Structure 1
Amino acid sequence: MKKEIGSEFWTVEQTAKKQHLFNAFKRNQRFFLSGRTALEYLIKNIKETNHIKKAYLPSYCCHSMIQPFLDNNIEVTFYDVLVEENKLMIKVDPNVECDLFYSIQYFGFVDEQLNEFVKKTKQQGKLIVEDATHSLFTTKAFHTEADYVFASLRKWTGLPGGALVWSKETLGDPVSKTDPNKAYIEKREAAYRLKRRYIEGEPIEKNTFLTLFDEAEQILGKDYRGYGCGQEIKEQIEHLDIAKIIKKRQENAAFLCGKLRFCEGIELLYKAVKQDDCPLFVPIIVKKHQRDPLRVFLIQQNIYCPIHWPISPMHKLNVRTETLYKNTLSLVCDQRYDTEDMASIVDAIIQFFERK
């Protein structure tokens, strides 16, 4: 077995017993190809009964979540998400006019900052769309006041696709295209198979599957609208080993937080893992503009930690909100790994700063 930490998955954690997590919300539910597909569907569904001209989004988000609004001729304005006193802070202006408020709980750490504003926004009669991708496996996956909720499953496990939508209101026909984007799915599945063989020690060239993953993302970027979720992926979603996912992530993230809490070169955005959390990643702020050099050093140790998120022309940032993008690194803590792997991450980070 090759020893690498991070990058794309190659396994899907399954259990024989069907899981009922996604049926427990007692809301209208639909399955889609991807998170952006789900969001685009929600926007269209909302526009059938509501006049939506302006959406209020967090400054800290993936460009793929901005795109569906622009594709549906909805103006986007942003509230600030930034770092203050070494914590992630959300600054919502209650006086901003909008028809739709977009909420995110970040990285699978339960955060109560948005609660009051969500309640006030609801009282004003505005629609609330919550992106529960990061908070999906926490004890509070989303605000009860949310009108619409969606979440991508692909970020959590080796599924080639899959996203969920819930609503308090009746949802319209789920898709215009009955089949998933086969070109996209087939590319990702082929890449997963090759990476699995690579990890198992076969002489597979890494660029072979990395190219396939990249090609799949290009396909999705060009053709993401109107696709449902294939039955095979839906069944995989319904049989995810959720208990394992939560347990391993909590253990791994707690180890990272405990060992890195006093590392002078970084700041943890979340200092500890609570019982209600289920971390997607452990985000850190790297001091003195050392994020990119640290990331390169980790790659040299076969540790691949993503950046959330690349800045796109769709983002409208200021100096303070841009700083978050430029200095944040997401440490891997998922269910593929154990504390020995987390110790490798810690040792590599400490070694990097000791060299300075």
Structure 2
Amino acid sequence: MSTVDDRPGGATARTGGPTGRAGAGHGRRGVTADRWEVGSAFPLVVPAGGGWAGLAESVRLYGSGRQALVALLEYGRHEYGWSAVHLPEYYCPEVADDVAAVLPVHRYDAGPAGGGEPPRVGPGEALVLVSYFGTPPVRPPTPAPTGAAVIVDATHDPLAPWLSHLGADYVFASLRKTLPLPDGGALWSTVDRPLPPAPAPSDGQRLAAGTILAAMCLKTAYLGGAGLAKEPYLAGYVDGERRLRAAEVSAVSDFTATLLPALPVDELRVRRITNATVLADRLATLAGVTARAYPFGVVLECESHQRREELRRGLISRAVYPAVLWTLRPGEVGPRHLDYSERMLMLHTDARWTERDMTRVAALVRQVRQAAATTRAPAVPAGAPHRPRPISRRPRHQPSDDLPPKGAPC
């Protein structure tokens, strides 16, 4: 869902500045001028504020959003006899893989680019709706049959006000995609459905969270100007993500369980949405790119995959690290959703940065587009003789060797 930092030995590190009090000094405090960057995983930040007033005992916490969904599906299979789960075609592939290990999966035509026929959900089946970038999902026009359950993935905006009015049986979210936490997933019901028993903590979860937390600490030190190399914390994020992906269903780490109630989640959400509005406004007249503000950030839709990759590489070289949500697999999704996934980029707008940072990011996006336009080979007129380009003798590098990963396990 969100991206992690570069691999050790890769391009520039993906970092962002820690915050002070929500709404004041975001993106500047504690970050040296020569280490300004936008995007990617959180460093260790503990913003002060009002705390999470809505976090109640009815919310079940897990090690990740994936674990929350898996635990719910296992519970539904044993308690209610759920026999299958319907997932949208446009969805995180790694999560779909883990879901398929619990229940048979049926994919239906839905995604940010629109949908087709609504899924035919049978009795005793579960339907997962996804809030793409924080927008309300589209419910099927007919009510779910008896014994069926509707589940909403609200990872991109867990505090969305429309969630309580949607009437879904269950809601789950990965908390670390919008909050500065090393781990954490949440599961709750807006209609008071029973939840699975609270999970026990596991050593694998503790190790994964501890590894990521150590990377967050090192990243904070680096951003503040400490004489540290990037490689240690970059390797820590990669190792932590790997461990978290492999961890069994577990309780959340003690660190996250302790910090979560104190985070000013409402203020952080407002700042993220405000920044997204500013950034999208600054990009409103950019030719060839459609910029849309969402509660999760700004999504850029380019005219082609080639132009998207030009923009992505150009931004990375300028210390802006966009996310690809998600890199879908050909053959598993329809052509419309695959095309959209290959043309989109998500720009982070969370509370690590100020409106001034968003204006700077917009200027860099325009700079990359202009640079690409001036260096791009002119179109060959119809009927003109083809002249092959000279073969370069320079070593050829694959994108995976010199660019950060496009996405991380969800």
TM-score per shorter chain, which class? Answer: 0.7 to 0.9
Contact 1:135 1:142 in 2 (8 A): no
Distance 1:175 1:238, change over 3 A: same
Deviation by residue 1:190-222 (Cα, 9 ceiling, x = unmatched): 100111111001122222211110111111222
Q: Which residue in 2 is equivalent to 1:63?
A: 93
User: When the two structures are aligned, how many residues end up with a matched partner?
Assistant: 335
Task: Tell me if structure 1 keeps the 8 A contact 2:273–2:296.
Answer: no
What is the aligned counterpart of 2:269 among 236, 242, 246?
Answer: 246
Task: Give the match's secondary structure for 2:79.
Answer: coil
Query: What are the residue-to-residue correspondences of 1:279-298 with 2, within 5 Å?
Result: 279-289=295-305, 290-298=307-315
Deviation at 1:322, TM superposition (A): 0.6
CA contact (8 A) 1:122 1:145 kept: no
The alpha carbon displacement at 1:11 in A equals 3.3
CA distance in 1, matches of 2:60, 2:120: 34
Q: Distance in 1 between matches of 2:327 and 2:164?
A: 25
Deviation sequence 1:99-156 (CA, Å, 0-9, x none): 1110111112x33x514x1x62435542111111112122223654211111111001
Kindly name which structure, 1 or 2, has the bigger radius of gyration based on alpha carbons. Answer: 2
Cα distance 1:142–1:66, how it changes in 2: closer, same or farther (>3 A)? farther
Aligned to 1:93: 118
1:54 is displaced (CA, Å) by: 2.1
Deviations 1:33-66, CA, capped at 9 Å, x for gaps: 1111111111111112222222111111112321
Residue of 279, 303, 308 corresponding to 1:256: 279
The alignment's C-alpha RMSD in Å is 2.3
Residue pair 2:278, 2:355 contacting (<8 A) in 1 also: yes
SS of 1:128's equivalent? strand
- What letter corresponds to residue 310 of structure 1 in structure 2? T
Percent identity of paired positions between Structure 1 and Structure 2: 25
8 Å contact kept, 2:77–2:83:
no
- 1:186 aligns to 2:210 (yes or no): yes
- In the alignment, is residue 157 of structure 1 matched against residue 179 of structure 2? yes
Q: Return the TM-score normalized by structure 2.
A: 0.76
1-structure distance, mates of 2:201, 2:266: 33
Shift of 1:92: 4.3
Q: Which amino acid aligns with 1:325?
A: S
CA distance in 2, matches of 1:92, 1:69: 22
Among 108, 127, 134, the alignment partner of 1:79 is 108
Per mean C-alpha deviation after superposition, the further-off stretch among 298-307 and 201-210 is 201-210
Structure 1 residue matching 2:346: 3-state secondary structure? strand
Equivalent residues of 2:175, 2:184 under 8 A apart = yes
Matches within 5 A, 1:157-306: 157-167=179-189, 168-177=192-201, 181-223=205-247, 225-268=248-291, 270=292, 279-289=295-305, 290-306=307-323
How far apart, in 1, do the equivalents of 2:76 and 2:236 lie?
A: 35
1:6 paired to 2:22: no
Distance 1:47 1:143, change over 3 A: farther
For 2:274 and 2:106, how far apart are their aligned partners in 1? 38
Q: Deviations over 1:278-307 (max 9, x none)?
A: x21211111132111211100111111111
Q: For residue 184 of structure 1, what is the amino acid of its counterpart?
A: A
Aligned to 1:37: 67
